[in-house]
Amino acid sequence: MMSTLLVFTDLDGTLLDHFTYDYAPAEGALNDLKTLGIPCILNTSKTYAELLELRQALGNHDPFIVENGAAVYIPKHSSLGNACSLPCQGDFYIKSFGPHREELIQLISDFKQRYDFTCYSDLSAAQLAQFTGLEIATAELSLQRSFTEPLIWNDSNQALHQLRDELEQYGVKAQKGGRFVHLMGQHCDKAVAMAWLAEQYELSIGGAVTCIALGDGENDVSMIGSANIPVVVRSPTHVPPEIPGRTDVWITDSYGPKGWNEAITKALVNHGYV
Ligand SMILES: [Mg+2]
């Protein structure tokens, strides 16, 4: 018998359309996963507050990973019994991989004199909405972070390199994203969180799992590269990222959620599920 399948997926530009955030084209495959009892684990830069809403819309009850791999949330009702010794928040156990946001804010405040940047924590929802084009209600949810602190970087690239070097001794990294520089624990990474959660499943079921990982961006490369089935979902805005060391990457024909649907359907067929 083939091993249990686990799906790990990025959201923006992958399961959600890059422009409209629509996931309707993926609904067929999402329903297949539900019917087959295959976990669909959202692995995203989004926050806990943002994911609570989205999971509800998707009817998703599986564990999820927030803030670029900074923490894994496991529903208390889940079969992953090992989680019991973890701290909880609401209906979830939490496994975190880096310092809390308050510590990051404290640390970075010492650098404000020497570098030119604005902290997320200094922005109001209205200011963030204006900067990102998000709706104010969405900006509100995005401000509720637990393990990462984004910066609006107004200084040079050289200054960013210098700050990076300085932060290293504190076990903190500054990762450049689309709009922000994200401060987070050195070991926070989508791939690390995926590997930890996959291991919890293996311990729980007493057997191997097969991970399929889907993403469209640079911050998905490590996750895709360490999955058993690596999938790059094609983006309408950029060329597919290279996945170093892998010659077996599936690159979808279609963009975003339509490509997602295509890849999951192919994986289910290959695995003998449908
Ligand atoms: Mg993405």
20-24, 68-72, 130-134, 145-149: segment of lowest average pLDDT? 130-134
Q: What is the distance in A from the centroid of ligand 1 to the CA of 214? A: 9
Mean pLDDT of 41-47: 94
> What is the model's pLDDT at position 218?
87
The active-site residue, picked from 10, 17, 216, 220, is 10
User: So what's the pLDDT on residue 176?
Assistant: 80
Would you call 10 a catalytic residue per the annotation?
Answer: yes
Instruction: Work out the pLDDT band at 247, boundaries 50, 70, 90.
Output: very high
Query: Measured in angstroms, how far is the CA atom of residue 218 from the centroid of ligand 1?
Result: 8
pTM exceeding 0.85:
yes
pLDDT at 2: 64
**Phi, psi torsion values for 250, nearest 5 degrees:** -90, 125
Region 186-197: mean pLDDT is 96
Q: Does the pLDDT value for residue 245 go beyond 70?
A: yes
The rounded Å distance from CA 83 to ligand 1 centre is 28
What ranges do the domains of the chain cover?
A: 4-97+189-270, 101-185
Q: Which CATH architecture has domain 4-97+189-270?
A: 3-Layer(aba) Sandwich (3.40)
Q: What is the pLDDT of residue 85?
A: 85
State the distance from the centre of ligand 1 to the C-alpha of 40, rounded, in angstroms: 16
Output the pLDDT for position 185.
Answer: 96
The per-residue pLDDT of the chain, averaged, comes to 94
Residues whose beta carbons lie less than 5 angstroms from ion ligand 1:
10, 12-13, 216-217
For 159-187, what is the mean pLDDT? 92
Architecture of domain 101-185: 2-Layer Sandwich (3.30)
Give distance in angstroms: CA of 127 to centre of ligand 1. 23
